[in-house]
């Protein structure tokens, strides 16, 4: 015979219809009958005709607010669960609601209604246990006063109870324990009788907690709560406990009886849910949710007159390239090592969290000196520059760190985050591996950056990209031996955007891959068109981004473009940055070997600006070294830069590779490079980047320059 069980009834009270509707829809799907009230007055009126199983009420409402609802409900039924929601975010509101009788408290807006469902289920379970415990104690007190035969029946029930039962005298000395108590605690009845229940204390709860419990029961009232106790052998366990006083016929307390349910498994599950909700599963660091709550609390605690609160947002450079090269498992191991190194660099009192992906946040302790955060940021950046060893492979990484200080750089979590991220993006634009302190000018720059990001996503289909070509001239023969294809972007109806502004955006949003393929196709097509127009054979150089190089189909893309355009492989030079290929890994060497087999020229661009391993350099199948413009500009005025240029030239001669110096603008620079044996020059001394048509004219007039 089947038994029909009525569905539970839930009353939601909120002056926001959208909130009530979303809660109602969610819990109706969970099998509840949901009643709705638009304010506290209507909710209290509904209670005169019915009793729901649980109430969810907003805290701030017109007419009758949530605190009055809690007080009214508690006076009607102190075992009716009430969950309070509030958008104020104030800890004092939560404490006041709980003191008035609320069973639990959650902040608005609700990020996940499943969390609310968990709280509701927990409250209903507690109400069920309290109801059962009250009935149990009422029966127990009655039975103690009954005849001997009835007392014998009660003793059997207590002995066989699934919960621990402890009876003490009025002073708290144990007079009886049932077998379940022995099973759970490890103390036999002989060991427990005559002693105080404090033998179970684990010292995980404050003395004030026990003091409040004794004040309640000694005044003749029942007490319910949770204890973290300790077994005889030292193992901690949790119990849901109800303690009731037993009174004689004159109303004097003679004994106390405690009924305790082992809830260790439930608490362990709650702890697991808490960890999953607040901590990153990969690194073990606090997650975005925990960080935001922590920062909110710190903003409330900071002394505006004497203390500074700092937020750092940190982004790991080139992590996507690592994932594309070595796989996501390898990248995850690197992220774990980065998290560990950050914690070591920050110390115990700093909260380091994994915000999202390869982005972290750091909140140092409150400080009386604003500059202390910058010193810590530099310490973090320096720590991340040291080599990581992952699966036997050396990996060098770096980070961009944006710093915002409260209250100058924001007065809430959202504004602090926005401004710290603006500073972090500026660090990326400054060349990465940098620390930048927020300034108000960065917001407008960030807004412009987001605008460009949106427009760049449509720039290819709108034909807004073009190429310009800068000649490479052999000093000895004064003939044009090559040309570098340089990407340019002119949004429709606007002025051109400099490459230093838009190319980093393409790299961050991944558009550099399709745009880079377009550059390769267009450059090869143009090179063939020049040959057909009668220009002499020359090599055209195309920059390959880190993301392009990491893709497994780069070799196939190059072969396809060469075949479609008709360009001979020997006439194509692929310029690869030092940070991309200077990684001692089999995948990198294999990819370079595959490209070399096609017959194209491989050039190492911006050589000397990264973290080169000279031993590894000799293993690379490269044909050309390009001396970076930064060294060329300073080599006549800075001895260190002159030494770097001399070393690169000597190294190129030793390795038997070609040398190209870029950024040459003066006769003095030209002569310096010629005397030291760098024959090929690229720079404004001979020509700025030119359109395809102007390059044809340049070649016609300057067959010999």
Interval 450-462: pLDDT, tens: 788 888 999 999 9
Residues 505, 510: Cα–Cα separation, whole Å? 8
Residues 12, 15: Cα–Cα separation, whole Å? 10
Q: In what order do the strands lie in the sheet with 164-169?
A: 174-177, 164-169, 253-262, 236-247, 223-230
Taking the CA atoms of 405, 411, 417 and 420 in sequence, report the sign of the dihedral they define: negative
- pLDDT at position 77: 87
Q: Do 156-269 and 454-629+680-701 show the same overall fold?
A: no
* Strand 539-544 relative to strand 479-489, pairing: parallel
- pLDDT at position 552: 67
CATH topology of domain 454-629+680-701: TIM Barrel (3.20.20)
Write the CB contacts of 5 (distance below 8 Å, at least 6 apart in sequence). none
Specify whether domain 156-269 bears CATH 3.30.450.20. Answer: yes
Q: Which residue has the higher pLDDT, 161 or 291?
A: 291
> CA–CA distance from 162 to each of 75, 144, 274 (Å)?
32, 20, 28
> Are 83 and 102 contacting, i.e. CB atoms less than 8 angstroms apart?
yes
Residue 705 confidence (pLDDT) above 60: no
Residue 612 confidence (pLDDT) above 60: no
Interval 5-47: pLDDT, tens: 789 999 999 988 888 899 999 999 999 999 999 988 888 888 8
* Count of helices and strands (H, E) across the chain: 27, 25
Beta-bridge partner residues of 539 = 482
What CATH architecture is 9-110? 3-Layer(aba) Sandwich (3.40)
Question: Exposure string (b/e) for 373-384, b if CB count within 10 Å is 16 or more?
Answer: bbebbeebbeeb
Q: How high does pLDDT run on average in the chain?
A: 87
Alpha helices in 510-545 (DSSP H): 512-532
Q: What is the DSSP letter of 571?
A: G
> Are 9 and 52 contacting, i.e. CB atoms less than 8 angstroms apart?
yes
* Strand 435-437 relative to strand 399-406, pairing: parallel
Following DSSP, what letter does each residue of 218-282 receive, concatenated? HTT--EEEEEEEE-TTS-EEEEEEEEEEEE-TTS-EEEEEEEEEE-HHHHHHHHHHHHHHHB-TT
Residue 148 confidence (pLDDT) above 50: no
Please report which confidence band the pLDDT of residue 466 belongs to, taking 50, 70 and 90 as the band edges: very high
As a whole number, mean pLDDT of residues 532-557 equals 88
> Are 259 and 241 contacting, i.e. CB atoms less than 8 angstroms apart?
yes
Measured at the CA of 586, the angle between CA 484 and CA 508, to 5 degrees, comes to 50
> Are 302 and 366 contacting, i.e. CB atoms less than 8 angstroms apart?
yes
Residues 609, 625: Cα–Cα separation, whole Å? 12
Write phi, then psi, for 279 (nearest 5 degrees): -130, 150
Secondary structure (3-state) at 624: strand
Question: Exposure string (b/e) for 52-77, b if CB count within 10 Å is 16 or more?
Answer: bbbbbbbbebeebbbbbbbebbbeee
- pLDDT at position 149: 52
What is the distance, to the nearest Å, from the Cα of residue 444 to the centroid of all Cα atoms in its chain?
Answer: 25
> Are 603 and 660 contacting, i.e. CB atoms less than 8 angstroms apart?
yes
CATH topology of domain 286-439: Alpha-Beta Plaits (3.30.70)
Please report which confidence band the pLDDT of residue 278 belongs to, taking 50, 70 and 90 as the band edges: very high
Residue 3 confidence (pLDDT) above 70: no
Beta-bridge partner residues of 489 = 465, 497
Residues 679, 670: Cα–Cα separation, whole Å? 9
Task: Name the residue ranges covered by the structural domains of the chain.
Answer: 9-110, 156-269, 286-439, 454-629+680-701
> Are 51 and 77 contacting, i.e. CB atoms less than 8 angstroms apart?
yes
């Amino acid at each position: 015979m089947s038994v029909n069980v009525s569905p539970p009834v839930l009353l939601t009270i909120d002056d926001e219809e959208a909130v009530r509707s979303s809660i109602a829809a969610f819990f109706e799907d969970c099998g509840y009958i949901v009643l709705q009230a638009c304010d506290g007055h209507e909710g209290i009126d509904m209670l005169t005709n019915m009793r729901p199983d649980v109430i969810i009420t907003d805290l701030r409402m017109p007419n009758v607010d949530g605190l009055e609802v809690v007080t009214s409900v508690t006076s009607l039924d102190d075992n009716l669960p009430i969950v309070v929601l509030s958008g104020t975010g104030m800890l004092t509101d939560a404490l006041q609601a709980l003191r008035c009788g609320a069973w639990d408290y959650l902040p608005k807006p609700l990020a996940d209604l499943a969390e609310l469902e968990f709280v509701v289920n927990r409250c209903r379970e507690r109400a069920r246990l309290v109801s059962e415990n009250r009935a149990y104690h009422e029966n127990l007190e009655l039975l103690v006063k009954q005849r001997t035969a009835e007392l014998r029946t009660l003793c059997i029930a207590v002995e066989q109870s699934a919960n621990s039962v402890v009876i003490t005298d009025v002073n708290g000395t144990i007079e009886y324990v049932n077998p379940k108590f022995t099973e759970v605690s490890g103390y036999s009845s002989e060991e427990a009788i005559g002693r105080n229940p404090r033998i179970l204390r684990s010292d995980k709860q404050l003395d004030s907690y026990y003091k409040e419990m004794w004040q309640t029961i000694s005044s003749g009232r029942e007490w319910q709560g949770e204890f973290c106790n300790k077994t005889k052998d030292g193992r901690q366990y949790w119990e849901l406990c109800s303690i009731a006083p037993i009174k004689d016929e004159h109303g004097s307390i003679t004994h106390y009886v405690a009924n305790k349910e082992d809830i260790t498994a439930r608490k362990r599950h709650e702890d697991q849910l808490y960890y999953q909700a607040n901590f990153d599963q990969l690194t073990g660091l606090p997650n975005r949710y925990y960080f935001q709550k922590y920062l909110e609390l710190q903003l409330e605690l900071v002394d505006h007159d004497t203390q500074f609160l700092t937020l750092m947002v940190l982004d790991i450079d080139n992590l996507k390239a690592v994932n594309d090269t070595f796989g996501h498992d390898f990248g995850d191991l690197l992220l774990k090592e980065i998290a560990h190194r950050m914690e070591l660099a920050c110390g115990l009192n700093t909260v380091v969290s994994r915000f999202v992906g390869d982005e972290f946040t750091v909140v140092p302790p409150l400080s009386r000196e604003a500059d202390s955060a910058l010193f810590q940021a530099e310490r973090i950046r320096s720590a991340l520059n040291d080599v990581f060893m992952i699966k036997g492979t050396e990996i060098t990484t770096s980070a961009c760190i944006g710093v915002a200080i409260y209250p100058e750089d924001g007065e809430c979590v959202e504004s602090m985050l926005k401004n710290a991220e603006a500073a972090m993006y500026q660090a990326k634009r400054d060349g990465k591996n940098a620390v930048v302190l927020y300034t108000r000018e960065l917001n407008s720059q960030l807004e412009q950056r987001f605008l460009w990001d949106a427009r760049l996503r449509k720039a290819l289909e709108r034909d807004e990209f073009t190429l310009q070509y800068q000649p490479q001239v052999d000093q000895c023969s004064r003939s044009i031996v090559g040309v570098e294809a340089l990407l340019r972007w002119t949004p429709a109806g606007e002025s051109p955007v400099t490459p230093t502004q838009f190319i980093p955006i393409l790299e961050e949003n991944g558009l550099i891959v399709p745009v880079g393929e377009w550059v390769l196709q267009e450059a090869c097509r143009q090179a063939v068109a020049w040959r057909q127009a009668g220009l002499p054979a020359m090599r055209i150089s195309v920059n390959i981004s880190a993301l392009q190089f990491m893709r497994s189909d780069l070799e196939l893309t190059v072969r396809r473009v060469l075949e479609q355009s008709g360009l001979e492989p020997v006439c194509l030079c692929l310029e690869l940055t030092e940070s991309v290929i200077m990684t001692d890994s089999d995948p990198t060497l294999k990819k370079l070997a595959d490209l070399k087999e096609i017959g194209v020229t491989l050039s190492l661009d911006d050589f000397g600006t990264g973290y080169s391993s000279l031993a590894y350099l000799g293993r690379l199948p490269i044909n050309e070294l390009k001396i970076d413009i930064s060294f060329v500009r300073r080599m006549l005025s800075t001895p260190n830069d002159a030494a770097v240029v001399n070393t690169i030239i000597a190294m190129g001669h030793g390795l038997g590779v070609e040398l190209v110096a870029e950024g040459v603008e003066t006769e003095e620079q030209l002569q310096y490079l010629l005397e030291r044996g760098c024959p090929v020059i690229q720079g404004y001394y001979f020509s700025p980047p030119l359109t395809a048509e102007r390059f044809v004219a340049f070649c016609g007039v300057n067959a010999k320059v």
